[in-house]
A and B are shown apart, each in its own frame.
Chain A
Amino acid sequence: MIKILSFKDFFAGLMFVAFGGTAVWLAQVYPFGSAGRMGPAYFPTLVGGLLTILGAIVSLRGLAVPGQKPGSFHCKPLILVLAGVVLFGFALERLGLMIAIFTLVVFSSLGGTEFRIRGVLILAAVLALGSFLVFIYGLGLQIPTWPFSF
């Protein structure tokens, strides 16, 4: 039974092999050409091939060399901040910038280490006002600001 000494490296390597392989496979749609007259597929195939080889090397290393532990993941902050960002995206075009900012600040702050509702709301208000002054009024950027404003 082959012992995998470094899961991280082994699977990372496999992932890169897959990526490189996919790249090469996707590139086959385009004309390849010859060395003297390279087609659009040539360079991506080379790069993809290189990636596949490197990925294979990494996987093999994963079998032989013990690897470092990856950094620890903290899911809750990550997911909350991402949620805040994604909700900002959804809110921006439907509800406008002002509301989107509140969404962003509230959700991403939930992912932070301290959450005090008053402070968060004040921060959101300040940022909203500031953004309005700087981006909409000052720089004149065309961003939907209020709900259903366009």
Chain B
Amino acid sequence: MDFFANIILGFQTAFQPVNFLFCFVGVLTGTLVGVLPGLGPVAAMSLLLPTTFHVSPVAAVIMLAGIYYGAMYGGSTTSILVNIPGEAASVVTCLDGYKMARQGRAGPALGIAAFASFIAGTFSIVGLMLIAPPLAEMALKFGPPEYFSLMTLGLTVLTFLASGPMWKALIMACLGLFLGNIGMDSINATFRFTFGILELSDGIGLVPVAMGLFGISEVLLNVEQSMRRTVFETKIKNLLPSRKDWSESSGPIARGTILGFFLGVLPGGGSLISSFVSYAVEKKISKTPEKFGTGMIAGVAGPEAANNSATGGAFIPLLTLGIPGNAVTALLLGALIIYGVQPGPKMVIEHANLFWGVIASMYLGNAMLLVLNLPLIGLWVKILKVPYPILFPLILLFCLIGAYSLNNSLTEVGLMVLFGVIGYLLKKFRYEAAPLILALVLGPMMEHSFRASLTMFDGNLSQFFFRPISAVIMTVAILLLVLPLIPGVKKRPAIGEGED
């Protein structure tokens, strides 16, 4: 078919100088953000979003995507060397990775993490490339009820998987949904909850909220602690894993890749859950489960593969259905809408150069990352040693300038700061921000689909269950909501922070 023509188109697009440059900037920033604890991909993406307004949407998405999967590479560096996760999905790598470093095996740990990430990342892009177009065709048959059910499922899965009690995440989701209602209503064009403030008429901006919740709040939280980071001083020689390392890792990498891909596709899933599940699986399958936590390379290879593979998978619902499954893809969706690209099943065809260009750039990016992460590891170690008092004013400044440059108005800045404080309070009271952001982005779409569906059904809610696809999805969503209420059914124990 014109499959090969598309791939060639993609690579042609990806190799254009601007796109190539943005890909590099993206993966570099992503690695940096992944290496530095306290700043995650969502914050970085929202920070760099304003700088992309002068270039094409293709370059912008290439860069933003690069930040996402780049962070998955960089996160393992801090986990292994400092026992602090660089970003949420690398928490699991701390368990065995740091132990390996203590045993003098930091090199192979870093090496296998990079290689696993590369292999998994590449495979997941292949999967994306093969599955997305046919899925998009199938999705053309989706109507408002299917979309509503899918979005509900996404929110439900995210709240189910969130750390902490489910009702906390549900409250966050409700808040996000409500905030999404502020502004002009999509069907009647009524201004809702704007209180005469002009800047609110377009709704609460995604970028200030994301920067506030994930960027400013992190600074507020980290400033309190003296971040005394003892980076491993041993010489990191021999980054190439041994033959034995490879034989122990190949299984975990393969399993992690497949696991991560499917968990990434699932709305509400993502890199965090993939890495956890991979660790659990490897531990179960291993012949020496008791050794996990003491420096088993399988405990590094599997999760690292999984979290990278999930990034490719996460793009599938976004690019084919226009439905984001987690906070990162929610931000990407917001960005696409800002650029005037309507995500959805038609996007694959109408914006073919965007779709294939991004895919090709992901191959490119993963290759760049392999180079960045192995030879340049010394550089990252040096950066890790930069004291936080120097770093955080820089982060604050970036956020402030970024927010101001959106509209040359202090309103966005004020909004960002407000949400920074809110994010701080949420963290202190152990609520998660990710459901809020996802709900904020999904809110308007959900309402639109809901109202359209009910108009189709003439007010009859049960019709959601008479359409086969919608029925299945809705049932799963409701099951997830109800499951924690059944006594004896334990949610997975809360392990770590939510998805950045």
The answer on a CB contact under 8 Å between A105 and B393 is yes
Nearest CB in chain A: distance from B358 CB, A: 23
Indicate whether A14 reaches chain B with its CB closer than 8 angstroms.
Answer: no
Indicate whether B167 reaches chain A with its CB closer than 8 angstroms.
Answer: yes
The answer on a CB contact under 8 Å between B167 and A40 is no
Which chain B positions have C-beta within 8 A of A38?
187, 450-451, 454-455
User: Chain B interface secondary structure, helix, strand, loop or mixed?
Assistant: helix
Indicate whether A137 reaches chain B with its CB closer than 8 angstroms.
Answer: no
Indicate whether A16 reaches chain B with its CB closer than 8 angstroms.
Answer: yes
Indicate whether B465 reaches chain A with its CB closer than 8 angstroms.
Answer: no
The answer on a CB contact under 8 Å between B178 and A78 is no
Nearest CB in chain A: distance from B388 CB, A: 7
* CB-based nearest A residue for B178: A47
The answer on a CB contact under 8 Å between A92 and B410 is yes
Which chain B positions have C-beta within 8 A of A2?
none
Which chain A positions have C-beta within 8 A of B188?
31, 39-40
Nearest CB in chain A: distance from B424 CB, A: 7
Nearest CB in chain B: distance from A1 CB, A: 26
Nearest CB in chain A: distance from B346 CB, A: 26
Which chain A positions have C-beta within 8 A of B51?
139
Tell me which of A30, A55, A71, A143 contacts B192 (CB under 8 A).
Answer: A30
Which chain B positions have C-beta within 8 A of A135?
401, 405
A residues 122-140 in Cβ contact with B at 8 Å: 123-124, 127, 131, 135, 139
The answer on a CB contact under 8 Å between B455 and A143 is no
Q: From A43, A70, A73, A89, name the one whose CB has the most chain B CB atoms within 10 angstroms.
A: A43
A74 to B223 Cα, complex, angstroms: 10
Indicate whether B193 reaches chain A with its CB closer than 8 angstroms.
Answer: yes
A48 to B176 Cα, complex, angstroms: 11
Tell me which of B170, B181, B223, B451 contacts A81 (CB under 8 A).
Answer: B223
Indicate whether A95 reaches chain B with its CB closer than 8 angstroms.
Answer: no
The answer on a CB contact under 8 Å between A51 and B171 is yes
The answer on a CB contact under 8 Å between A44 and B181 is yes
Tell me which of A16, A37, A44, A112 contacts B392 (CB under 8 A).
Answer: A112
